[in-house]
Amino acid sequence: MKTIVDPLLLQNQCLAWRGEGKSIAVVPTMGFFHAGHESLMRQARTLADKLVVTLFVNPSQFGPGEDLGAYPRKLEQDAAIAQGHGADVLFTPAAEEMYAPGHSTWVEVGGVSQGLCGASRPGHFRGVTTVVAKLFSLCQPTVAVFGEKDWQQLAVIRRMVRDLFLPVSIVGMPIFREADGLAMSSRNAYLTPAERAEAVHISHGVFLARKLALQGASIPEVKAGVLTYWNTHLPLGSLDYLQFVHPETMQPVENFSTPVLVAVAMKVGKARLIDNCLIAPVA
């Protein structure tokens, strides 16, 4: 595995591979790898001749007062993990290289990026789509793999790819969870033991939503049930949102007649954690 820091070197390498008729898979990440990232790499490795893993804590997707400075980093261990999954390149650019002085071009997706995390984190998805567009331009991928944990991000990227006719297939992978159900996240490292013990109830609340929906409860009933559950089991949590939305448009829905994404964002201590689950209508 080669580690590349220079964007244009990466682009030259990838253009050369494409010129040789090779397909390229890319897994964009912010590092501090856990088993969720590894599941993406494992899948990506099967989808193309060459695998590029990118590791970039992208400043433009963090708002003022968010955790850009504190974001956990572990480059050497991450490099060993990427290599272990057969990555051909680990791309670890510097922020000044990705955003050269005078940088003034942004990629912004409307609609689907506006609710949920887009509402709580203004500018977040503009940062995500801008950096992902740059990464696609550098890596020339035939396929890119993302996690469903960040469901809205996946929906926003799918929309960008469709709207801009980008020649890349987007693959979504299921949420990888700890044994007790907590969605794996680099930000789980911020949790104290007491917070970690409570954080598991985020996922249990989401599973409760699915159970209640399948038992025939309405959306207001499900919402009330989950909020009551969290009030009891997650006193350290501060809810950002619990929303019931269409899984592609991310627009709020009123009932379970179509597939519904239940999405939550919750602050526990210093960590802002997200989770979701898809509820399909009962046939």
- Residue 149 buriedness (CB in 10 A; 0-12 / 13-18 / 19+): buried
Of the listed 34, 37, 103, 233, which one is catalytic?
37
Tokens representing 108? 């912004």
> Quick check: 136 and 26 in contact, CB under 8 A?
yes
Q: Which of 147, 205, 237, 247 binds ligand AMP (CB under 6 A)?
A: 147
Place of tokens 């991310």: 250
Q: Which of 186, 188, 203, 276 binds ligand AMP (CB under 6 A)?
A: 186
Asked if 92 is part of the footprint of ligand AMP (rule: CB under 6 A), the reply reads: no
Asked if 149 is part of the footprint of ligand AMP (rule: CB under 6 A), the reply reads: yes
Distance (Å, whole) CA 116 – CA 155: 12
Asked if 264 is part of the footprint of ligand AMP (rule: CB under 6 A), the reply reads: no
CB 97 → ligand AMP: shortest distance, Å?
A: 19
Q: Which is nearer to ligand AMP, 141 or 225 (CB)?
A: 141
Q: Identify residues 10-39 at the interface with ligand AMP (CB under 6 A).
A: 29-30, 36-37, 39
CB 92 → ligand AMP: shortest distance, Å?
A: 13
Question: Rounded to the nearest 5°, which phi and psi values hold at 25?
Answer: -105, 140
| Total residues at interface with ligand AMP (CB under 6 A) | 17
Closest residue to bound ligand AMP by CB: 147
Active-site residue, 37 included:
yes
Report the DSSP beta bridge partners of residue 2.
Answer: 89
Q: Which is nearer to ligand AMP, 133 or 183 (CB)?
A: 183
Site string for ligand AMP, 94-133 (x = CB under 6 A): ----------------------------------------
Tokens representing 280? 């399909």
Closest by CA position to 8, among listed 107, 118, 155, 139: 139
> Quick check: 1 and 89 in contact, CB under 8 A?
yes
The residue length of the chain stands at 283
Q: Identify residues 39-78 at the interface with ligand AMP (CB under 6 A).
A: 39-40
> Quick check: 107 and 160 in contact, CB under 8 A?
yes
> Quick check: 87 and 54 in contact, CB under 8 A?
no
Return the H-helix or E-strand segment holding 266: strand 260-268
Site string for ligand AMP, 153-172 (x = CB under 6 A): --------------------
Positions annotated as catalytic residues are 37
The contact set with ligand AMP (CB under 6 A) reads 29-30, 36-37, 39-40, 146-147, 149-150, 173, 175-176, 183-186
